[in-house]
């Protein structure tokens, strides 16, 4: 059974389907969060739903809008002459182009890196949809890691989770698929020596 699912995960079809699932799941959870935490006048209620930890303080849901980029950084501070919507549109086009190029350059045997890149693209598309539709990103997952560097971790969403896990998979692939990477590197050396 495990081998069956492992073979499925390695396929391009599964990876593309998983990316589409990620975008849909992200959008559904954001729609739920906005409806759940907004009153009849369209104003956020500032309500908190505690989930895990003492008094539900480690993981909780609350609605937060991110009008900036990652970790609420503002594009107006980087390029003040460019409207934020145009900034995010151009940034997304460049980022997606780089990700597609990177995906195509990954050896087909390195299925973990390919899955990671499709997860990053899925998350990027999910947040891009918010920026084009609302001019801000809906965040609602609020975590606290006791005795960590910051008071609370920045509030995030499903798309952000896909990006984070995707990046981790790309970096962990050479460790987890060590024999495949060793073989690919050996083939590169042999090809280089032949030229």
Angle at 75 between CA 83 and CA 33, to 5 degrees: 95
CA atoms within 13 A on the CB side of 122: 29
CA atoms within 13 A on the CB side of 96: 14
Quick one: tokens of 131? 């920026």
Strands 59-66 and 137-143, sheet pairing = antiparallel
Supply the residues annotated as catalytic. 139, 160
CB count within 10 Å of CB 188 equals: 11
């Amino acid at each position: 059974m495990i081998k069956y699912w492992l073979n499925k995960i390695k396929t391009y079809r599964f990876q593309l389907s998983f990316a589409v699932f990620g975008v849909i799941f992200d959008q559904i959870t954001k729609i739920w969060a906005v409806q759940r935490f907004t009153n009849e006048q369209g104003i956020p209620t500032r309500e908190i739903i505690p989930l895990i930890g003492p008094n539900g303080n480690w993981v909780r849901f609350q609605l937060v809008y991110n009008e900036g980029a990652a970790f609420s950084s503002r594009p107006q501070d980087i390029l003040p002459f460019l409207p934020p919507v145009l900034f995010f549109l151009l940034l997304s086009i460049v980022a997606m182009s780089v990700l597609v190029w990177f995906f195509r350059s990954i050896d087909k045997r390195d299925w973990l890196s390919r899955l990671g890149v499709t997860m990053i693209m899925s998350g990027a598309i999910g947040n891009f949809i918010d920026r084009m539709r609302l001019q801000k990103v809906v965040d609602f997952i609020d975590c606290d890691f006791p005795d960590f560097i910051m008071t609370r971790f920045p509030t995030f969403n499903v798309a952000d989770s896909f990006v984070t896990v995707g990046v981790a998979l790309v970096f962990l692939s050479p460790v987890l698929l060590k024999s495949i990477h060793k073989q690919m590197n050996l083939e590169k050396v042999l090809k280089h020596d032949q030229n």
